[in-house]
Structure 1
């Protein structure tokens, strides 16, 4: 049986994420997919058909993931099911930091080590927790160019390019208040031969936040491994 590449609570990205190839987003920032958190790992039976009978082309996989992300456009959590080959690890993202003095620093190692260092938190009623994806989402940057028409020494019109950089903060989550705890009704499961079928979180935290679009407070249970109380934003 194949072994899953990612675990519950791990950060993953769709392979199309532009920060896998560049430190800055080019084009429309709204088209960038969110950082995802693995909520469930499902290993299909070896009997599952993954190739088309007629052509032999691959049409599915044996390992798939239910992933969660925070949709800031509606202030709600959404889920998507994706196969393993569609995903990449957040550890491969290129992340830069801009200091208050405007100095650009390649900072992916520091941030990735910080996130890898987050332990599954202890339950603390009334305490503030953050989604583990938050720091990466608020550090995203987009570059764009504007051109000013000038004349060169020969009197010819030429375009003088100027690059600007701005933060792209879509999919950024608010801070949450932890207000409840329960054991997950779903459990890890196995096939009759003992091989692993499904992996889920054991513990769920109830979190509360203000939803500005509905003008009310929202609540939801999420896996404890989605959250941290150790994140520092600077």
Structure 2
């Protein structure tokens, strides 16, 4: 957006800016605005691709009657639509600098040929993907279901041909200066409404190049049987620091990009990462047997039964345990062992001898606890009852 006021002689918005009609409830300060009632009445996000800046001022308003030709994608017809708006009818959503498209104003037609067969999408896609709507469900327990509002989300386009806009800038004594995109793309996409393919000539400054999100030719395996390492990401505390290890849940595709959906093995939190041609090569695949030891209690692969003892846990090491709390709730969690502490029957703290640490009988004679930082609880210090009824599984973290 060029100016802060319509009193300027210059247009308020620029080519490639995202705007919307005045009735759109869009709020810049609210990231998750939920649309209720008839969400279909919400106007689309528009991309400016042509501007008329009149030579003369309006005698009644004292301002120039600047107008903007804007484009949006109609998901009902699966076609792009264009519409002229007065400056007073629009409100600002986002600068054109926040997305690609501006580079086409300086690039030559010859250099622009590199984009033939490349993938693009309408610049408004990210804003449209964030729209939410609520659906009221009348049940015994009245609730509201929040879903995505995707009415104007553009599909991926492929560029068939690159053309020069011969009328990039034309001065007219009546309408004034018309600003247009210098480069035009002839694009093709699948029209889901007509179940065929459609084509259109689209100004380059309203599109975003999404080629970097195409990982279809990547040799990455995405094997759920393995773990994955994010080399530059760590779980860090004053006492410990360890590289982040995650478990792959699924690979999802959202409009134009792939998401690596994973569960952090330390915190058990589920998150996702948008994959690109650059960051996918940084993810390292690690076999499960290289991350955790075999089961430390119960019957091991050699068919030998190992009993739980205080010596099962070593100070300063990470363990993955399956733990049942006093309420009977079973959780899997990663812990960093501080110490093994014990109390006698009168709950006086005692020091375990090496012999007591290696005997399972110790768990019957004394009250034993694992003192540890629990990463499932944001690294807070916790105490876990050390006995066979509560500790159901133990594996040592090897990395």
Q: Same fold (TM over 0.5)?
A: yes
Deviates more, 1:40-49 or 1:124-133: 40-49
Check if 1:137 corresponds to 2:128: yes
Gaps of 5+ in 2: 1-7, 105-111, 214-256, 260-399
Kept in 2, the 8 Å contact 1:180–1:205? The answer is yes
Kept in 2, the 8 Å contact 1:13–1:34? The answer is yes
Other-structure match for 1:41: 51
Other-structure match for 1:221: 201
Kept in 2, the 8 Å contact 1:45–1:62? The answer is no
TM-score (norm 2): 0.44
TM-score (norm 1): 0.72
Other-structure match for 1:2: 9
Question: How far 1:186 moved relative to its partner?
Answer: 1.6
Check if 1:126 corresponds to 2:117: yes
Other-structure match for 1:199: 179
Q: Once the two structures are superposed, what CA deviation does each residue of 1:75-101 show, in whole Å capped at 9, x if it has no partner?
A: 11111111111111113xxxxxxxxxx
Check if 1:63 corresponds to 2:84: no
Question: How far 1:215 moved relative to its partner?
Answer: 2.9
Larger Rg: 2
1:63–1:169: structure 2 CA closer, same or farther, 3 Å change rule? same
Quote the Cα distance in structure 2 between the aligned partners of 1:29 and 1:161: 20
Other-structure match for 1:31: 41
Check if 1:13 corresponds to 2:20: yes
SS at match of 1:7: coil
Other-structure match for 1:105: none
Other-structure match for 1:167: 148
Check if 1:79 corresponds to 2:82: yes
Question: How far 1:146 moved relative to its partner?
Answer: 4.1
Check if 1:189 corresponds to 2:148: no
Count of aligned pairs: 193
Quote the Cα distance in structure 2 between the aligned partners of 1:212 and 1:144: 25
Gaps of 5+ in 1: 52-57, 92-111, 150-159
Kept in 1, the 8 Å contact 2:9–2:64? The answer is no
Q: Once the two structures are superposed, what CA deviation does each residue of 1:108-158 show, in whole Å capped at 9, x if it has no partner?
A: xxxx89x70425365411111111111211221012444556xxxxxxxxx
Q: RMSD over aligned Cα, in angstroms?
A: 2.8
Quote the Cα distance in structure 1 between the aligned partners of 2:184 and 2:126: 22
Quote the Cα distance in structure 1 between the aligned partners of 2:126 and 2:57: 41
SS at match of 2:128: helix
Kept in 2, the 8 Å contact 1:61–1:83? The answer is no
Q: Once the two structures are superposed, what CA deviation does each residue of 1:13-44 show, in whole Å capped at 9, x if it has no partner?
A: 11211222861112212111011111210012
Kept in 1, the 8 Å contact 2:57–2:64? The answer is no
Quote the Cα distance in structure 2 between the aligned partners of 1:63 and 1:28: 32
Check if 1:212 corresponds to 2:219: no
Other-structure match for 1:99: none
Quote the Cα distance in structure 2 between the aligned partners of 1:79 and 1:48: 25
SS at match of 2:205: helix
